[in-house]
Amino acid sequence: MRLESFVRGSWVSPGQDLGVIRSAITSDVVAEVANGGLDMGEVLAYARRVGGPNLRRLTFHQRAEMLKRLALYLTERKDQLYKLSYQTGTTRTDNFIDVDGGIGTLFVYASKGRRELPNATFLIDGAVEPLSKGGSFVGQHVMTPLQGVAVHINAFNFPCWGMLEKLAPAILAGVPVVTKPATITSYVAHALVRMIAESRILPEGSLQCIIGSTGDLFDHLTCQDVVSFTGSAETAQKLQRHPVIARESVRFIAERDSLNAAILAPDAAPGTPEFDLFIKEIAKEMTVKAGQKCTAIRRAIAPNSHVPAVIEALRERLSKITVGNPELENVRMGPVVGLDQRRDVLAQVAKLRSEADIVIGDPDNFTVEGADRERGAFIPPLLLHCPDPIRATHVHSAEAFGPVCTVMGYDGIDQAVSLANRGDGSLVASVYTYDPAIASDLVFGVGAFHGRLVLIDRDCAKEQTGHGSPMPHMVHGGPGRAGGGEELGGMRGVHHYMQRTALQGSPAMLSRVTQSWIKGAPQIQEGRHPFRYYFEDLAIGQTFISKERTITLEDIEHFATFTGDTFYAHMSEEATKNHPFFPGRVAHGYLLLSFAAGLFVDPDLGPVLANYGLDSLRFLKPVQPGETIKVRLTAKSKSPRNAEYGEVRWDVEIMTDKDETVATYELLTMNAVHP
């Protein structure tokens, strides 16, 4: 097949300088790629002119719904991607991680977008900040989508997941994407983009794909663009030094080389569940994707007394791995992605062998099932042992990006921490212990050098997702050698594509601009009770001030008996003498909430369908028997949910009759849309 780029809404192949892509299994030509000929300035201009406005006019919920529809569409067609991916050297299990993992990320961001973001086009970030004594000048942070392009440069090892895990948060944020897959596996990414384009789910201009060289793409970047790169440290550094990146302060997110570690604690001796989990995870990370994962375990760090048992257990487990044609059912590990990659892996192994010995596997003598060992890019699982990791350097600096891992021993937790941190920044480390004290020492000893830490023990063994599996909910990235960037992490990944802006002004002005009522802004007290308005008719700032109610000792004692909450502060005057918070017997906080509801709730059938939440509750002043309370209820913000109802967030303040604030919180209701 001849691969084309998808730019400006069309498939084009203008270049005449053809390169070929070969099968990892047979070295036969799989695809041709044309380099050059694209006007990169126009590619970016099209995204900014067409894609950006099309996305920004949609709300977060509308974008989330698109991601869900796209995930469902791709799920129905994923077998086509599986079939094509075999030529990259991947098994069906490998493809599940890549294809289903990518689609799963779309589902996660679709769900989180609906649940955690408003049905709006911007975000309010944090609480209102008082900036003046009288309250007439306040501050509020907001986040808005960047008005540029998300340029995604992806690695060869995950042509589907790598594209979709970057695409999901960018589209949810409202920023169009130009994706550039690694050439050697670009035929899989090409098929994925073709599916997305044919679905017509994303608005025009939301996604473009460059196959082959990026040409002068970076020359046309601006301060509104984001570059997210996954690949080698060498390439990342070259791109980061581009003068436009520095001049325009282009956001640059890098995820690159990583010498990840698995740490076996002293208590996880042979025979313990944690020891077995350690062995299982190392073998898996060596063989899944033929070890071609940025999160794979490169260094297995174990107590010196456990090292012989670790090697023998891995020998037994790795001996069962069948290497060969990944389309065969009995094959558990395919080749690396190509002959060049095999040469690079073996060159790195040669460096490691200057400090470590190969104890499992022989790169010159191994069996391949269903394929020609010389024509395909096959390497057996290779385990090395470094007898002196303290003085060694290559085992902490050279990454063999294939089925390769080095075992090294330590004496004492401090030495284990030191060895783990010698990687100078990693994406992930995993810890195997059942001792919380040891786990704590390791976590806070290595945490600053790692983007993610996985604590694996017998309690989570059945459900843990593994050392090498970045989850959409959690941050993926790491300091130092790992690139210093972050991806995913739930809404954190969305925020990378947005600008945080500090707004300052009067409560009235900021309330109108942010569409969220701020204390000090005008209140609307005329008309009906706020609960009598349908969703679309309710005005932000609509306020109800309740009647007053005096709290009695009988109220407190009845509530204590009825609920079982007989905490001493409610029941004993003697117990509260010289108390730092309570001047005597006080009302239960939840009694005050219950009475507040009785003061502001409109009981008759009306547009309020349900009370479904309460946020940010703070009790600020204790209330004693004989004191009187009242409630202010103000419509703070609204967020449409569907054609039938929307969410209303109410600002609630419980006060004394002297206007002293007793408690504050936000109440959430679902209000009907007018039929």
Domains of the chain: 5-257+493-499 (3.40.605.10), 261-466 (3.40.309.10), 523-672 (3.10.129.10)
Q: What is the pLDDT of residue 493?
A: 93
Q: What is the pLDDT of residue 57?
A: 95
Given the DSSP bridges, would you call strands 29-35 and 5-7 parallel, antiparallel or unpaired?
A: unpaired
Other Cβ atoms closer than 10 A to 340: 12
pLDDT above 90 covers a percentage of the chain that reads 81
- The residue whose two tokens read 């940010």 is 616
Strand partners, 140: 503
Q: Please report, as a single letter, which amino acid is at residue 330.
A: N
Helix axes 60-75, 101-116, angle to 10 degrees: 160
Active site residues: 255, 294
Tokens of 292: 């071609």
For residues 218 and 236, give the distance between their C-alpha atoms in angstroms, rounded to a whole number.
Answer: 13
Tell me if 231 sits within 8 A of 153, measured CB to CB. yes
What phi and psi values does residue 331 have, to the nearest 5 degrees? -85, 130
Other Cβ atoms closer than 10 A to 355: 20
DSSP secondary structure of 203-272: PTTSEEE--S--TTGGGG--TT-EEEEES-HHHHHHHHT-HHHHHTT-EEEEE----EEEEE-TT--TTS
Q: What is the pLDDT of residue 234?
A: 85
- Mean pLDDT, the chain, whole residue set: 93
Q: What is the pLDDT of residue 675?
A: 84
Tell me if 474 sits within 8 A of 487, measured CB to CB. no
In the predicted model, residues of the chain with pLDDT beneath 50 are none
